[in-house]
Amino acid sequence: MRTKSCFLALAFLLLNTIVYAQREETVLGSRGWGLSGLWGGYTHHYTDYNGTDAFNRGGFFGFEFGKSLFVGWTHYSLRDDIVLDKGDNQRFDFRFNGGKIGYAFVPYKAVHPMINVELGRGRAKLAGEGNDNIFVIQPSVGVEVNVFRWFRLGLEGGYRFARNVDYVALNDSDLSSPY
C-alpha cells in the first residue's frame, strides 16, 4: 500500500512538472511572428470576361511570417485571345499587379485551409479604345497541402472585383467574375 501511494505521489509530481513546463502561446508573445520563409510560385485561373471563358496565368513572391501569414506581390495576365463582339470585333487584353496577403490556418497540418486577398492596379486594353487603368480586388479561400517542408500545393477559388472600368463597351461587372 505504501509503495502504491508513493508511486501515485511521484506520478502526480512528474505530471505537475510536465504541465508547468509547457509554454503558453499568445497572439503577440511567444508565437514568433518573425520571418519563417520566402515563397514564390506560379498560378493559373480559369475565369470569364464579359461571358467569354478565359485563362489567366501569373505568379507571386512574398515573405512568410510565423508560418501562417504571407505578405507579398502578385502578377496576372490574360493568356487567351478574346474578341468582344460589340459590333467592332474588338480584341481584349487584361493584366494586373498588386499586393497579396494570405493566412494559413493550422499550417503544421499536412492539409490545411487558407485565405488570401490580392489587390492592386490593373490594365485593360481594348482595341480601338486604348488602355484603361482599373482597380482589382481578388479575395479567395482554398486548401493547401504540405508536400515537403519547402513545397506546398494549393487549390483555391475566389472572385475578382474590377472597379473603375471606363470603356463604352465594357463596365465593372463585365470584368468581375469568379475564378
Residue range 53-95, pLDDT digits in tens: 898 999 999 999 998 999 999 999 998 888 776 656 678 889 9
Q: C-alpha grid cell for residue 17?
A: 512538472
Phi-psi region of 87 (alpha: psi -120 to 50; beta: other; left: phi over 0): left
* pTM > 0.85: yes or no: no
- Tens of pLDDT, residues 11-58: 666 666 555 544 544 444 555 678 888 999 999 989 988 888 898 999
Whether 171 is in a domain gets the answer yes
**Inside any domain, residue 110:** yes
First to last CA, the chain: 70
C-alpha cell recorded at residue 56 = 489567366
Centroid of chain to Cα 134: 21
Specify whether the CB–CB gap between 88 and 97 falls below 8 A. no
Q: Which CATH number belongs to the domain containing residue 158 in this structure?
A: 2.40.160.20
Separation of alpha carbons 17 and 1, rounded Å: 24
Domain membership of residue 67 (yes or no) is: yes
Residue 120 located in a structural domain:
yes
Q: Which domain holds residue 97?
A: 32-178
Domain count, the chain: 1
Is residue 14, in this structure, part of any structural domain at all? no
